[in-house]
Homo-oligomer: A and B are copies of this chain.
Amino acid sequence: MKKRIIIIEDNSSIREGFSAVLDTVESYEVVNLYGNCEDALTSIEKDNPDIVLMDIELPGMDGIAGTARIKKQLPNCIVLIITVLEDSEKVFRSLCAGAGGYIVKNSNISEIVQNIDEALAGGAPMSLSIAKMVVQSFRQQQDSPLTERETEVLQSIAEGKSYSKIALDLFVSKETIRTHIKNIYRKLEVSSKADAIKIANSNKWVTGRPL
Which of A's residues lie within 8 Å of B, judged by CB?
A: 72, 92-93, 95-96, 98, 124, 126-128, 131-132, 134-136, 138-139, 148, 157-162, 165, 192-194, 196-198, 201-202, 207-211
Contacts and interface: CB of A to CB of B under 8 A. Distances in A.
A91 B165 CA distance: 28
A135 B193 contact: no
A201 B159 CA distance: 9
Given A158-B160, A160-B197, 15 more contacts: A92-B138, A95-B135, A95-B139, A96-B139, A98-B139, A124-B132, A124-B136, A128-B131, A131-B135, A134-B134, A160-B193, A160-B198, A162-B192, A201-B209, A202-B210
B126 A160 contact: no
A2 B38 CA distance: 58
A197 B132 contact: no
A136 to B, nearest CB: 6
A95 B158 contact: no
25 contacts: A72-B148, A92-B138, A93-B211, A95-B135, A95-B139, A96-B211, A124-B135, A124-B136, A126-B131, A126-B135, A128-B128, A128-B131, A131-B132, A131-B135, A158-B160, A159-B194, A159-B198, A160-B192, A160-B194, A160-B196, A160-B197, A198-B210, A201-B210, A208-B208, A209-B209
A100 to B, nearest CB: 8
Contacts of A211: 93, 96
A158 B201 CA distance: 12
A163 to B, nearest CB: 11
